[in-house]
Structure 1
Amino acid sequence: MTFEWLNEEEIFRGRAFAVKKVKVRLPDGRETTYDYIKHSGAVTIVPVDDQNRILFVNQYRMGVKGMLMELPAGTLEEGEDPAICAAREIREETGFAAKEVTKLGEFFLAPGYSSEFMHVFLMTGLYPAPLKQDDDEFLEVEAISVEKVWEMIHSNQIHDGKTLACLLLAMKQLKNAA
């Protein structure tokens, strides 16, 4: 099947993404228009401390009009190496750096309308190394045992999709994975 992009028009450009209208020729020859978000990509970190606890951040999210518990994450700068971005983001969001970094995988976050591609890292051997948080971030860090995290997943207490996907990718590496 062939989908041909005929043209695209940028409707909005923000800090992390652009919104575009894209005209596409479908496999049957008809033409239609899609809304598309062009995103620079992102990282998510599964930080595990020496007590086998995962560090989460609680932060306000516009889409849910409230606080959401998530794994630390951040947007890639144009052309930035994902490992470098992850090393910066863990320090900004949790105040820790990691001695060991393992790439767990990668995935598209919402391919129905966005190009956002997520890179996932497990970070262990944590030690204090804070960086200043972004001016618009107000984060609360919470350390939760791996055992308790699996209970929270199974009782529908974690609602962030990227966090759930990243924990699944980390399952084999985490002690006491359920």
Structure 2
Amino acid sequence: MDIYKNCQVNMANLGWGALVGIAATLAIASPSFAQSAIALGRNFRPDPATLQGNGGGNVSLASLAGIADNCRGFANTTPNHTITLNETFPLLDLLVYNSNVNDDPTLLVKGPNGIVICADDESSGRYPQTNRRLPKGTYQVWVGSKSVNQSFPYTLSLSEIVQK
């Protein structure tokens, strides 16, 4: 029996339950750089909306932003989140926070019409935060770390009021 037929026979003998288990194991074992996406309209609930992720990487935020102005830190090339605003927001506050004082998150947001926002230590002198008018469109968000290749969990909080 050749290898291809042997694989077919063995796969058929495993059954669907075993195949699903193998697929789940592979999904858990492989590193995830998948981003999360959210679409928001004005007066969204709950406010704030929160997204979880893992920050950090080995690519400088300044190079991802295409500017050096206040773009500190390192992230992966793939954005952590995509935010679609279904209408213009007079104010949208983005705040990144985490529970480990040794982690030092930074933030890059790229949006329509060349919008580039970099943030670092605006909230309590420790967390990146930006609040401004944002036009309707799609925004890519990277959460970086001040140190290259440092990974950490974080929460991205989005609100229509300035968060403290």
Larger Rg: 2
> Does 1 or 2 have the higher relative contact order (CA < 8 Å, sep 6+)?
2
Structure ranking higher in strand proportion: 1
TM-score normalized by structure 1?
0.21
TM-score normalized by structure 2?
0.22
